[in-house]
Amino acid sequence: MYKIFGVIFIFFILNELHAQVVEKEKDLRKISIDSSLLGWKTGGLFNLTFSQLSLTHWASGGENSIAGNALLNVYAKYNKQRFSFENNLDMGYGLLKQASAKSKKADDKIDFSSKLGYLIHNNSFWAALINFKTQFMPGYNYPNDSVKISNFMAPAYLLFAIGYDFKKKDIFSCFIAPITGKITFVNDQNLADKGAFGVEPAKFDANGNITQHGKHNRYEFGGYIKTTFQTKITNNINLTSKLELFSNYFKNPQNIDVYWETLTGMKISKYLAVSINTVLIYDDDIMITIKDKSGNTIGQGQRIQFKEVVGIGFSYKF
């Protein structure tokens, strides 16, 4: 009799354990992972555009010019079980040459980001992000090309963020990080002494001599939001947009830094495409030279920065 009860008891325990395993499997199935996203996925886009203007005895006036712009975007993404790892690198450089002037920069950027995520529910992740931005070459206060206003690593921005990421496949992502550290680098002493890009400027004595050089770094702590969106408008037109917002908790948190970039590409043939790249920037710590209608400098202040690059040329997607 005891043996019978023992067998029944063991059967009951095993049945309960099996039921718990089944319930656990059901819970895990609720967290769905698209199999097409598993493993490594790499690719990129390279654009090279040129434009030329040539005038001979042109009654309306004008000036000969030539311009070129190169744009490279590469990515590497990895997904396995609940983990995701995304890396993106955007680089661009462009030059404009007019007959009566030296070459000028039309575009210059290095933008790298890396994000590690852990899936907690459908499309929802805990995530950590690193972002780095700078430029390749010096920039000048044209038409005066002897006054340098920027340089490689001046400025450069390094951002660390921890937060929540809502991601819908490769189409849309919204990353919200209440814990964010931001470092601004100005590794050019002349610019640092002027207090460029928000760093602490140099200190001077009564005779105008520097008693303490400006600092090269500026540290901020605040909140950060980054959204990315990409889609095919038609079979030949692609749109990619990225918006970044940052607020410093300890200094004018109402003045939000904005970085918004959009790239639209339209394929004409396999290797020929039209591209439109726009960038909008607002940073309360960056002072912009203000000029009157005659081109005379009247002061400095915060301004919305906007850049548009339109080109037609070689395009290769890989």
- CATH 3.30.70 correct for 36-317: no
CA 12/CA 88 separation, integer angstroms: 54
Instruction: Please indicate whether residue 138 or residue 302 has the higher confidence score (pLDDT).
Output: 138
- Phi, psi for 182 (deg, rounded to 5): -130, 130
Q: Which of 299, 298, 300 is nearest to 287 (CA)?
A: 300
**Does 282 have pLDDT greater than 80?**
yes
| Whole-number pLDDT of residue 214 | 97
Name the pairing type of β-strands 156-168 and 124-134.
Answer: antiparallel
Indicate the pLDDT class of residue 21, thresholds 50, 70 and 90: very low
**Does 181 have pLDDT greater than 90?**
yes
**Mean pLDDT calculated for residue range 90-113:** 91
| Whole-number pLDDT of residue 123 | 94
**Does 297 have pLDDT greater than 70?**
yes
CA 274/CA 222 separation, integer angstroms: 38
| Whole-number pLDDT of residue 23 | 52
Three-class secondary structure of residue 307 per DSSP: strand
Q: What is the mean pLDDT of the chain?
A: 87
**Does 30 have pLDDT greater than 80?**
no
CA angle 158, 164, 166 (to 5 degrees): 110
**Does 219 have pLDDT greater than 70?**
yes
Long-range contacts of range 139-144, CB-CB < 8 Å, 24 or more positions apart? 139/105, 139/108, 140/104, 141/289, 142/104, 143/101
Domain boundaries of the chain, sorted by first residue: 1-30, 36-317
**Mean pLDDT calculated for residue range 74-93:** 95
Kindly report which listed range (3-17, 165-179, 258-272) carries the lowest average pLDDT score.
Answer: 3-17
Say how many C-beta atoms besides its own lie within 10 A of residue 169's C-beta. 10
| Whole-number pLDDT of residue 37 | 52
CA 74 vs CA 93, 157, 168, 219, 258: distances in Å = 15, 20, 20, 29, 23
**Mean pLDDT calculated for residue range 110-138:** 97
| Whole-number pLDDT of residue 271 | 94
Q: What is the per-residue pLDDT across 199-209, written as a single tens digit (0 to 9) for each?
A: 999 999 999 99
CA 216/CA 191 separation, integer angstroms: 9
Q: Which residues contact 48 (CB under 8 A, 6 or more apart)?
A: 68, 69, 70, 71, 313, 314, 315
